[in-house]
Structure 1
Amino acid sequence: MNSRNTARVGNRIKSYKKGQWMQTILWSREEVPPRAKHLYESSIRPKINLEENVRRMVIIDIETGDYKVDENGLHAADYLSAKHPNARLLRLCI
């Protein structure tokens, strides 16, 4: 990762894009589910735990805590990926 536009610092990658440095945290496969579950239980669930959301999917960006709810998670994942291109996303059923 020694190009002019990226640098690795510990478990983070910094990349230069559109005139600014952006930082991405590298999460292992084992770290993603517990992180998503913690975010869901501590801050997301109280906001979306509604009857209308039963059997819907929530997609969580584990780096930013952003989330989106929809029927099957596809549109939510597209939305969050567009918002944060290097996002680590996890899908949970509500």
Structure 2
Amino acid sequence: MPYAKYTPEEVESRGEEIYEQQIRQKVESGNKGKFVVIDIETGEYEIDEDDVQATKRALAKRPQGILYGVRVGYPTAYNLGGHIAMDQG
């Protein structure tokens, strides 16, 4: 299991710290909505409009990488939502 060294909370904490301290200022301008995938052990990252492509490139560099993803300019990477359909019959 690749995350055995870290709890999910540690992955999130390290990823957020690296993003805020080392990456955010480099990528924020002109990249709103793109995904940044960070290797929390090396600080290396990939950026792409497609999170899967960014992840694939990060893993190609370091297959055992512990990755954390963030979406530039948004508080979360994804939004979930829905609505209730009313039966009109």
- TM-score range (shorter-chain normalised) is 0.7 to 0.9
Corresponding position of 2:20: 41
Aligned-pair distance for 1:46?
A: 1.1
Percent identity, aligned pairs only, is: 36
- Measured on the aligned residues, the alpha-carbon RMSD in Å equals 1.3
Counterpart-to-counterpart distance in 1, 2:15 and 2:57: 18
TM value normalised by structure 1: 0.69
Corresponding position of 2:9: 30
Question: Secondary structure, in 3 states, of the residue corresponding to 1:31?
Answer: helix
Corresponding position of 1:76: 54
Corresponding position of 2:43: 65
Q: Larger relative CO (CA 8 A, sep 6+): 1 or 2?
A: 2
Gaps of 5+ in 1: 1-24
Counterpart-to-counterpart distance in 2, 1:55 and 1:76: 13
- Report the number of matched residues: 69
Structure exhibiting the larger radius of gyration computed from Cα positions: 2
The structure with more strand, counted as a fraction of residues = 1
> Which of 32, 37, 56 matches 1:54?
32
Gaps of 5+ in 2: 73-89
TM value normalised by structure 2: 0.73
The runs of at least 4 consecutive aligned structure 1 residues that moved more than 6 Å come to none
Question: Secondary structure, in 3 states, of the residue corresponding to 1:53?
Answer: coil
Residue identity in the other structure for 1:70: D
Aligned-pair distance for 1:70?
A: 0.3
